[in-house]
Amino acid sequence: MKIKVIKEVGYLVFGVVLLMLTGALYALEEAGCDPKTGFCGTVVEGTMVTPVKGPDQAAVNIIAYTDFLAPTSSRAIRTLDKVMESYPDDIQVVFKHYPSLLTENAILAHEAAMAAGGQGKFWEMYEKILANQKSTTQETLLGYAKALKLDSKKFSSDIKTHRFKNMILQQVREAKGLGVTDAPTFFINGRKLVGTRSAADFKRAIDIALGIVPASPEQGSPEEDAPVVEVNIQDAYAIGPEDAPVVIVEFSDFQCPFCGRVLPTLRDVLQRYPKQVRWVFKHFPLDFHPDAPLAHTAALAAGEQGKFWEMHDLIFSNQAAMKRQHLVAYAKELKLDEEEFTKALDGNKYEEKINLDIQEGRRLGVSGTPTFFVNGRRLVGAKPIEAFVRIIEAELQSAKAKTPAPRNGG
């Protein structure tokens, strides 16, 4: 079965930056954590690198596409740093590379920051480069590395071999696909903010994301303006009647805390519209969530024994316990055939299915979780029930209007 879905270019979902980094400033995960899954993680020679500032469970996530050599980027980042002091527990910032001119020196500056990041000092190098934007030759960057007490030999090797160049260019392509044309560009819980902005501009965008102030109508919403495409939901697990007039497709990640947070809302929606709504689950494990791929495999393995949704609920209820031994314990709790379950868990039986969902999500512009499509209308993040109800009611009214009136007489 296919339904119409919105494709929106220019909005990132805030789920993309919900990094489970166990308190680190950035994650370094081995390639064995399935680096092919997801769109937002960055993989470099077997290492996934995502520079992050702020608490893991922050309610507001800001993706910052930045050019180290652009004065506008430096000013905006300084302003944002000050703003973060007013929201110590509410904001997490993810750094993304966007050397807009793609000159040798511009790329080199970004490579140096990542090389320093490989030794645990991304943000320290970041500060040095922003403070010295006119001095980013190999020689000066090596001087910064020495000042930061990095392993100079390793740092120099990373720079000379351009170890991180492909990753940086990949993020530039990603940015362009999202409608980024200049640096800095910020996505604040999916809402785009471009250029050097005042502290008041940042605070308003953050307060909107926190629900402290309402969004103004002129700011628009992704579900209202984007074109419509199709998504294939064949063989996806679903709850609700097959002929429901409203279908909610969710791209989800079992390790994403906001995906867990929105579940009560989805259940309330199904309870409110038992005959009108069908909820479809699509797999979208993110690169920077190392436990997610196995959890998605476990859900599919349980589904083969008729217990997909039961395993789904157990995993989301225990997001801090998603290792193999925990998943096997959940299988026992659900009275699954343990031999069949562990065989599926340790094999690659469901890898293709999960990757097909990821590819489908990418085609539609999904870059993080949770992302919903309600009869083709896109919703980004753990929205309150009112956001779902507004679209559902509009869709039900539209369906009613299209239903031919019964004829009188014979």
**pLDDT digits 0-9 by tens, 283-341:** 999 877 889 999 999 999 999 999 999 999 999 999 989 999 999 999 999 999 999 99
- What average pLDDT does this structure show over 12-40? 30
CATH class (in words) of the domain with range 226-398: alpha beta
d(CA 132, CA 150): 19
**Nearest in space to 240 (alpha carbons), one of 288, 209, 272:** 272
Residue 183 predicted with pLDDT over 80 = yes
Residues of each domain in the chain carrying CATH 3.40.30.10? 9-210, 226-398
Mean pLDDT of 94-102: 84
Using the Cα atoms of residue 363, residue 367, residue 369 and residue 370 in order, give the sign of their dihedral. Answer: negative
Which contiguous run of DSSP H or E holds residue 29?
A: strand 26-30
Q: In this structure, what token pair is assigned to residue 290? A: 């190392």
Residues 6+ apart with CB under 8 A from 320: none
Measured CA angle at 148 (ends 137, 92), to 5 deg: 95
The answer for residues whose C-beta is within 8 angstroms of residue 363's C-beta and 6 or more apart is 229
Q: State the pLDDT confidence band at 21, using cuts at 50, 70 and 90.
A: very low
- Cα–Cα distances in Å, from 16 out to 61, 76, 96, 366, 406? 8, 22, 12, 9, 48
b/e burial code for range 236-268 (CB count within 10 A of at least 16 → b): bbbbbeeebbbbbbbbbbbbbbbbbbbbebbee
Domain spanning 9-210: CATH superfamily: Glutaredoxin (3.40.30.10)
Three-state secondary-structure class, residue 285: coil
pLDDT at 408: 58
| pTM of the full structure | 0.54
Higher pLDDT among residues 371 and 339, named by residue: 339
Express each pLDDT in 213-265 by its tens digit.
765 544 444 444 445 567 788 899 999 999 999 999 999 999 988 889 899 99
Euclidean distance between CA atoms 33 and 20, whole angstroms = 13
Question: What is the per-residue DSSP string for 259-270?
Answer: HHHTHHHHHHHH
Q: pLDDT at position 197, please?
A: 84
